[in-house]
Structure 1
Amino acid sequence: MLKENMQIILLFCFIFLSHHINAQFSRFGVRASISSVSWVGDYNPNPNVQYNSKIGGSIGFYFAREIGTNWNIEYGLNLSVKGFNLTGQVLYPGAMVGVDIKNQSAYIDVPVGFRYYFGRAAPNGFFIKAGIGISFLVYNKVNWIGQYNNQSFNGDFDGNASELNRFDFFVFPGIGYQLANGLNFQLIWERGLINIVKDDEYFDWTKAYNQSFKLVIGFDL
């Protein structure tokens, strides 16, 4: 599974870089983010459990070029951590068991977005941005801890093969500020468009989508 994922990643990186190697980019940079990530959507609610957000993040790089007055187009490649937490009680089997479940997923994200800069100082100053991207699931691990009759037990499993879709599309609006020295800050909301879950009984979800609220710091090289 890991070998297959690495082949997909390497192939995509080759295509991405080959296509843009001769382009006239005005900016190249690196960036990292810390984020609040979760799954959202329609599901069969269990009053005894609570789905919570967790801390995620990303690292990556970007290329950008001007396409008009105050406008930039930006291409990126990121490694992102997403997922959710679940706490509460579930019936297993015939008894209520306290559980704490942590789902952690790693994706290769490929966003393409547009920036619009306000004022005459472009490409510096305040800007808004929006775009769309594609994600490739490369890792997913579920860790659970249960408690019953003062006894604890735990385990983990890989959810890649049968329960989760390996591809996702997402949209992302955001705002930011670009400094003249190349440092930039962004606040971004990101929402997946494809149901993560293949199996409707997986954690009682019928439809589930990735969601992230990101604080991003980047630097033009």
Structure 2
Amino acid sequence: MKKVILPLALLAGIVGTAHAQTGIKFGVKGGYNLATFSGTDSHGIEYKSGFSAGLYSNFGVADNFSVQPEVLFSQKGASIDNFEGLPTTRFKTTLSYIDVPVLLRYNTGKTEGKGFFLELGPQASFLVRNRDFTQTGNTSTQSTDNTNSADMNKTVLAYVGGIGYQITSGLSLGFRYTGDFTQVYKQGVSANYAGQAYAGGNGQNPSVHNSVFQFQVGYAFGGK
């Protein structure tokens, strides 16, 4: 619960300082994540599907510029085919985070609230759950809820960049990329089941980062 309350408090604090600004808006958004791992030990790792959903606010700070803080639940992780050398076995890990990006947004349209936009900024992510899944053959499956995250970084720093289109009615479509600066797993400690899987079974955590493409739909309320 604390991991959810803290990001919401951060968003409330940021929004609270913006009431003097004109055109403040609040919104909801959700979308599709295409996630994988990047980094030194990412060879053989493939993409997996997930989703994101949450709240955001947007307030103007200058002509064509606005700041947009968000709080999103986001599924990340990765997939491996031919796991442990077996051609019929696939391994997946789903990592659930609370993402808190704070984005500087440049609106290219001359009409208020309409047109293409670019966004860029930092992001803090808080790990709330990790789940491992192994599939063998076409019908035989085995699922393991891996709640031992002692060897994983609970707080992750990242960068976000994206592009999208805002419709006057409040509807927006966006595409963004999120890349982590912080590694998924802690270094210098013994790996858990997922860590061993990606490290090739050598007992050490792999050097990997979350790498996520996000397709999002949002709707904003209020503002001019």
TM-score category by the smaller chain? 0.7 to 0.9
Superposed counterparts of 1:96-111, under 5 Å? 99-111=89-101
Cα drift, residue 155 of structure 1: 4.6
**Distance in 1 (alpha carbons) for counterparts of 2:160 and 2:42:** 27
Structure 1 pair 185–44 and aligned structure 2 pair: CA distance change class (3 A): closer
Instruction: Give the counterpart of 2:28 among 16, 30, 43.
Output: 30
- The percentage of counterpart residues that share the same residue type is 24
Matched residue of 1:206: which SS? coil
Superposed counterparts of 1:12-91, under 5 Å? 12-18=7-13, 20-21=15-16, 23-24=18-19, 26-43=24-41, 45=43, 50-90=44-84
Structure 1 pair 124–60 and aligned structure 2 pair: CA distance change class (3 A): same
2:181 corresponds to 1:193? yes
**Distance in 2 (alpha carbons) for counterparts of 1:173 and 1:15:** 21
**Structure 2 residue identity aligned to 1:23:** A
Q: Deviations over 1:86-122 (max 9, x none)?
A: 111426xxxx685311101110000100111114224
**Distance in 2 (alpha carbons) for counterparts of 1:146 and 1:121:** 54
8 Å CA contact retained: 1:142, 1:159: no
What is the root-mean-square deviation in Å for CA atoms of aligned residues? 2.5
Q: Deviations over 1:160-215 (max 9, x none)?
A: 42231111111111111111100011110111110111247522163111111111
Cα drift, residue 27 of structure 1: 0.9
Aligned residues: 206
8 Å CA contact retained: 2:97, 2:128: yes
Cα drift, residue 153 of structure 1: 7.0
| Higher relative strand content | 1
Matched residue of 2:55: which SS? strand
Cα drift, residue 52 of structure 1: 1.2
**Distance in 2 (alpha carbons) for counterparts of 1:109 and 1:173:** 14
Aligned to 2:202: none
Q: Which runs of 4+ in 1 moved over 4 A?
A: none
Q: Which runs of 5+ in 1 are unaligned?
A: 1-5
2:168 corresponds to 1:184? no
Cα drift, residue 8 of structure 1: 2.9
* TM-score between the two structures when normalised by the length of structure 2: 0.82
Cα drift, residue 35 of structure 1: 1.8
8 Å CA contact retained: 1:195, 1:209: yes
Bigger radius of gyration: 1
8 Å CA contact retained: 2:112, 2:168: no
**Structure 2 residue identity aligned to 1:109:** D
